[in-house]
Amino acid sequence: MFKKSDPNSFSKNCALYDGDNEIGTLLLEYQVTRYDDVQVQNASSVKKSRQRQYLIHATQRLNLYNPSGLVVKPGSNTTSYDNYPVLVQTSMLGTAAAGSPDDSSLSWELKDYSPKTINTTIQSSGTTGTSSGSTTASSTSHTSGSSTSQTNSYDTSVSVGMNDSLSDPTNIGISGSSTASYGHSSTTTHEHSTTHQSSSSQSRGQDSSSSAAMSIKDWGAYALVNPTVAGPTWLFGQEFPWNAIDCRKTTETVNPNNKDQVQIVVPSAMTARLYDGVSLYPPSQLSMFGVNFVMKSLWLVTIPDDSVSDEVTVSHTVDYYAGSHLLQDASGLQQDSDPSKVVNVYMDKVPTILNAASGPALSTTIDLALLALMPATVQGNAAVTGFSPNRFIVLPVQGTSSTPPVPFKIVSAGNDLLVVDNTTYPSSAGAAGFSLAETLLTANFSQSCAALSMTLYFKVVDTTKDYTLYLKHWKLGATGVMLTLTINGDTDNAITKYVDAAEAEGGENNITTIALRNQNYASVNYHDYLQLGLNAIQIDIQPIGKQYTADCAYQIRAVSVAAS
């Protein structure tokens, strides 16, 4: 039905255009995980800020193809290979979303990226000479890998002897040596041990993995990280048969077949790989048929505690260079095969910035809080949040005559239920808005703002369980409130509930129960409001009669989505 990582992922496919010509695609995928920093430095780590952190795994797969590579049938000798890919420079960059407050404390920390620098390590040698004829020789070797060797040796010798020789030669010399060894060892061991062991463990984790691979033949990849923007940039370039990365010097001579390309100075050892006096050889296989490169970045993004928005934008750029090589004479005219002719190499003067034309843009704005939500009930418990101050990521602030309300945002401890204030407040809301007292969230109305709204977000990844919404709430004042619940934007099937009991009034437990999915075919309540993936329940709150009254307010202690 779907991949395990899909509830926390977003992907899109962008067509890449060189002007009006489609020359490739860019597949983008993002995966977001909520990160809880539990590292401890000292006792000050007890006090945690309300800033939230997310891990963003961004993957881009770049596919560029060479239209001429589609023709593979044998043919006669050619005098040119035109407009094949030789250099690609691409990057990823994360910023705050457009339109969100410009907060310099928004932090992007690059944790990892791939690929790192990859070099094809081509070694070649060649000789070219002319006497009565022409002789060209070329050899190529490729070596990769590593070898490590280590040798340790130790040697010692001891000699003890005796030699006594008198100065008189008639005396008899005395000499000798003696060797003796003696060893003794005694060991006494007393041991005593007593072990008492008790263990208790509880674990909860989130595991997510994805992989993408690529291969490079005769191309190199070079990675660069700009410390000022914490965004990786990659340069992919052909290194064999001629090196587009090393060969950058130009003669400023324009390609007769393409006015946007200039001649590149290439050493004779490389041109010997392109032309042997009989045949003009093609570029590398990747340049001939197309390239497929995969790049990944991992960021730790920190949202400051005073920021309401969790939206960020990840931008991608692709700069493309094409190359050509032609068989020409000394005057620069293109010629048929002839040992006296030379090969000239050309490359684009400036890169082509590939764009997405009218399709999806090469930048993506994502809501980190929504994408990082865990599916409800997969951790074994109900998705529940009580309106305790330490669970808010943005605290509510009731409006005044001079200051507007601050919309709240709260997420459950299991990161599986997100509740946000989505009220459209007027410019002068007065004393309207939500306020917080101990573990209670209070909805306050005013003459200019007689209706408030909050939305519950959660994810469902099954079609078999029944789900129920629970609201622990009551009225505050003489006038009751009316709740209008719209599930997944279906206004035609909105649910209306009236709350006209005060806290603990009449022995009630002040709990409202709404079945979101009931698969009992025999029940009159058989229905299913839910969908796979993200679900939203918008709760509009207003006084009964839809008119402002001074003795009307609404309090809610907890909200839960439970499976049965």
| pLDDT, tens digit (0-9, with 9 covering 90-100), for 524-537 | 878 899 999 999 99
| pLDDT, tens digit (0-9, with 9 covering 90-100), for 353-376 | 998 876 678 999 999 999 999 999
| pLDDT, tens digit (0-9, with 9 covering 90-100), for 16-62 | 998 888 999 999 999 999 998 888 889 988 887 778 999 999 999 99
Contacts 24+ apart (CB under 8 A), 221-225: 221/115, 221/117, 221/118, 221/293, 222/117, 222/118, 223/113, 223/115, 223/116, 223/117, 225/110, 225/113
- What percent of the chain lies above the pLDDT cut of 70? 78
SS3 247: coil
Q: How confident is the model over 91-95, as a mean pLDDT?
A: 93
User: What is the 3-state composition of the chain as percent helix, strand, coil, each rounded to the nearest 5?
Assistant: 5, 45, 50
Q: How far is CA 365 from CA 17, 97, 279, 325, in A?
A: 22, 6, 51, 42
Alpha-carbon span 564 to 531, nearest angstrom: 17
- What percent of the chain lies above the pLDDT cut of 90? 58
Alpha-carbon span 453 to 408, nearest angstrom: 11
**Alpha-carbon torsion, ordered 413, 416, 418, 419, to 10 deg:** -80
Q: How confident is the model over 549-556, as a mean pLDDT?
A: 94
Predicted local confidence at residue 102, as pLDDT: 53
Predicted local confidence at residue 518, as pLDDT: 92
Alpha-carbon span 439 to 32, nearest angstrom: 30
Alpha-carbon span 244 to 105, nearest angstrom: 40
* pLDDT interval class at 104 (50, 70, 90): low
Alpha-carbon span 557 to 512, nearest angstrom: 12
More confident of the two residues 552 and 509: 552
Alpha-carbon span 380 to 418, nearest angstrom: 18
495: how many CB neighbours lie within 10 A of its CB? Answer: 16
Is 367 in contact with 105 (CB distance < 8 Å)?
A: no
Q: What is the DSSP secondary structure assignment for residue 334, as one 8-state letter?
A: B
Predicted local confidence at residue 470, as pLDDT: 96
Alpha-carbon span 116 to 234, nearest angstrom: 9
| pLDDT, tens digit (0-9, with 9 covering 90-100), for 105-144 | 688 999 999 998 876 544 444 444 444 444 444 444 444 3
Does residue 251 carry a pLDDT above 50? Answer: yes
* Secondary structure in 3-state letters for 115-140: CCCECCCEEEEEEEEECCCEEEEEEE
Is 237 in contact with 210 (CB distance < 8 Å)?
A: no
Predicted local confidence at residue 19, as pLDDT: 82
| pLDDT, tens digit (0-9, with 9 covering 90-100), for 330-357 | 665 555 555 668 899 999 999 999 988 7
Q: How confident is the model over 259-285, as a mean pLDDT?
A: 93
Output the average pLDDT for the chain.
82
Does residue 487 carry a pLDDT above 70? Answer: yes
Q: What is the DSSP secondary structure assignment for residue 415, as one 8-state letter?
A: S
Q: Which domains does the chain have, with CATH numbers?
A: 6-37+48-70+77-126+211-369 (2.70.240), 373-563 (2.60.120.260)
Is 501 in contact with 474 (CB distance < 8 Å)?
A: yes
| pLDDT, tens digit (0-9, with 9 covering 90-100), for 380-402 | 778 999 999 988 988 999 999 89
Predicted local confidence at residue 142, as pLDDT: 42
Non-local (6+) Cβ contacts of 216 within 8 A are 118, 120, 236, 286
Q: How confident is the model over 544-550, as a mean pLDDT?
A: 91
Q: What is the DSSP secondary structure assignment for residue 97, as one 8-state letter?
A: P
Residue 385 identity = T
